[in-house]
C-alpha cells in the first residue's frame, strides 16, 4: 500500500525544527519517509515504544501517560 499523502499545517514556531528534522533524519528522495527507524527502514512500533518510554521518563511523566494524550492535547490547543 502506498503511503498516505496530505498537507500538514504547522505553526511558525515549528518550521525551524521540522526543517532540521528533515535535513538530519528523513530520507532525501521526494517520496521518502519523514520518520525512519534505527536501521533506515519504516518506523516500527517497538522502536517507537522504546523512544517514547525514554522521552516520557525524561519529561517526568507517569507510565500511564500515553502518546495519544500528547496528540489529543495538541488538537485541543490548536482548536483554541
Instruction: Please tell me the total count of domains within the chain.
Output: 1
Let me know if residue 66 belongs to a domain.
Answer: yes
In a domain, 8, yes or no: no
Q: What's the pLDDT score for residue 31? A: 79
Provide φ and ψ at 42, rounded to 5°: -55, 150
Residue with C-alpha cell 516500527? 44
* 35-74 residue pLDDT tens: 877 777 777 777 788 888 999 999 999 988 888 888 888 7
Query: Please, which pLDDT band fits residue 80 given cuts at 50, 70 and 90?
Result: confident
More confident residue, 57 or 4: 57
pTM of the model: 0.51
pLDDT at position 17 is: 92
Residue 52 lies in a domain: yes
Examine residue 37 and state whether it is found in any structural domain, yes or no: yes
- Cβ burial of 70 (10 Å; 0-12, 13-18, 19+) is middle
> Range of 61's domain?
13-79
Amino acid at each position: 500500500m502506498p503511503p498516505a499523502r496530505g498537507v500538514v499545517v504547522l505553526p511558525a514556531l515549528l518550521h525551524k525544527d521540522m526543517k532540521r528534522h528533515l535535513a538530519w533524519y528523513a530520507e532525501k528522495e521526494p517520496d521518502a519517509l519523514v520518520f525512519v527507524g534505527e536501521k533506515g527502514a519504516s518506523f516500527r512500533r517497538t522502536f517507537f515504544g522504546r523512544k517514547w518510554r525514554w522521552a516520557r521518563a525524561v519529561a517526568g511523566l507517569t507510565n500511564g501517560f500515553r502518546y495519544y494524550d500528547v496528540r489529543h492535547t495538541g488538537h485541543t490547543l490548536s482548536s483554541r
